[in-house]
Structure 1
Amino acid sequence: MSDSQSVKAHVHHHHDGPKEFVAAVEHASEERGLRLTPLRKEVLELIAAAGKPVKAYDLLDHLRERHGNAAPPTVYRALDFLLEHGFIHKLESINAFVSCHHPAEAHQVPFLICDVCSSAQEVCDERVADLIEAQAKAFGFRPQAQTLEVHGICKDCRKA
């Protein structure tokens, strides 16, 4: 067996429930001196409860059900805060947001996105990010953001 075959990727299967996730974000916010306002927390709770990637306008619809007068900039400001501090990820290819269940870590991770059920699996393997960083450096390129999204069909949908 080669070295590359013997090293296994560390995959996070997000088993934490939405309440535990929000509590972890609250704790991380306190530790970093960040202000998790009630609206930011509510947007975070909606993303966590969705269980799959959710679009900004779906979040806005939920907020309007509760508050009536929520406007798009309100949602986008909350999303910007959550993204900036690594509490959520944006899946660029489907323009949707998903929670990050290890909010205390700053990281770039690839996602496996199912084109059938829209689930997204975060793959935490530092080798992927390190390889991209090394290749960028070899070309004299300084990356500012990194998004790797792989589309396909998940195991559950393949069985169906």
Structure 2
Amino acid sequence: MSGIFPDPTHDHHGCAPAAVAAAEEHCRSKGLRLSAMRRAVLEKLAESHAPLGAYDILDRLAESSGRPAPISVYRALSFLTEEGLAHRIESLNAYVACGENHGTAQPLVFLICERCRQVGEAKATDLGIKIDQVARSAGFTPQRATLEIFGICEHCSREPA
């Protein structure tokens, strides 16, 4: 799983255009609309690489234009997560842009660095098979599965605490 965390010297602002282009293609292929608000929220998430709460996003949007209504940001986040373009980190009540373009069905593991707050995203195919087997044996049909693991990323582990 090495390399799932961006290098700390990486310019995060360069990630936004790629994320928006992937989102536009995703929406075009499904006949959906990537509204200006959805695009702006996704840009802020992609520029960060660290999880952002809805009010963090509101504050960042307010820096470049007027402060939008909170409901607008929440609606955009709902759309982005439903379409697999962003993910909600439940334990942090925050969001990250999807870095894998895998849709919503793939089980995911989020690796959350306790020092730099960056989130790495990894596929959990083998784990997903087990989760699916356990759920189905109980008569349960899983819709999505995520696992959040807290620790120290490879970059931070090289630096003194």
Query: TM (normalized to structure 1)?
Result: 0.84
2:154 equivalent in structure 1: 155
Distance 1:128 1:74, change over 3 A: same
Q: Is the 8 A contact 1:12 1:123 kept in 2?
A: no
Tell me how far 1:125 sits from its aligned partner: 3.0
Q: Does 1:30 align with 2:28?
A: yes
Root mean square deviation, CA, Å: 2.1
Tell me how far 1:66 sits from its aligned partner: 2.6
Q: Does 1:68 align with 2:52?
A: no
1:129 equivalent in structure 2: 128
Q: Does 1:98 align with 2:96?
A: yes
Q: 2:4 aligns with which of 6, 13, 20?
A: 13
Q: C-alpha separation between the residues in 2 aligned to 1:116 and 1:14?
A: 13
1:81 equivalent in structure 2: 79
Aligned residues: 151
Larger radius of gyration: 1
1:6 equivalent in structure 2: none
Amino acid at match of 1:101: G
Tell me how far 1:128 sits from its aligned partner: 1.4
Tell me how far 1:143 sits from its aligned partner: 2.7
Q: C-alpha separation between the residues in 1 aligned to 2:51 and 2:33?
A: 24
3-state secondary structure, aligned to 2:26:
helix
Extract unaligned runs of 5+ from structure 2: 7-13
